[in-house]
Amino acid sequence: MTDSIEQKKQALLDEIDKLREEYQVEMPKRIAEARSMGDLSENAEYDAARERQAFLKARIAQLTHLVSQYNDVSSFHTDEKSVGFGSVVVVLELNSNTRSEYTIVHPIEVDPSEGKISLASPVGRALQNRTVGEEVVVTVPAGEKRFFIEKITSLHGSVFTA
């Protein structure tokens, strides 16, 4: 796997550790404190602590699932020459003659302003499994865009150019 995937996994594992610490150590103390204040039916601190506990549990599960998906990437064989998860793709938009760079990421990491798209997006779906030199037509809400794939950098760091 590439360093960036390993770095992402490590960042997720660090966040999971931090959240587990809060979930297992701090939250029981906050809940016990709130319980000691009396009537639980009208205890806003107790309700807030329980809501935070539920959020932490859900977030830990979400991040753990994401780490397992990153682990699966290493055992999943992809054609390095084609666009797939982890690829960085440079395209020339033929309609406007502008270049764009897209990184194919997990849906939870999507940030179009940084060029991070998922395979579930219209552009991601159109680019998936395509290779350098291919022309791709993408239907977006604003109409059709035509892209020419100029360069692909695979998940493993191999670079392919037109």
Residues 6+ apart with CB under 8 A from 153: 87, 88, 89, 159, 160
List where CATH 3.10.50.30 sits in the chain. 88-161
Mean pLDDT of the chain: 88
pLDDT value of residue 73:
63
Gap between the Cα atoms of 137 and 118, Å rounded: 17
User: Would you tell me which CATH number, out of the four given (3.30.420.40, 1.10.287.180, 3.40.50.1820, 3.30.230.10), belongs to the domain 3-75?
Assistant: 1.10.287.180
Kindly report the pTM of this predicted structure. 0.66
Between 41 and 91, where is the model more confident? 91
> What is the mean predicted confidence (pLDDT) over 127-133?
94
Between 116 and 140, where is the model more confident? 116
| Distance from chain centroid for Cα 95 | 29
User: Would you state the structure tokens that stand for residue 160, as one six-digit string?
Assistant: 């392919």
Task: Tell me the pLDDT band of 40, cut-offs 50, 70 and 90.
Answer: confident
H or E stretch covering 9 = helix 3-21
Question: Looking at the domain covering 88-161, what would its CATH class be?
Answer: alpha beta
Is pLDDT of 5 > 80? no
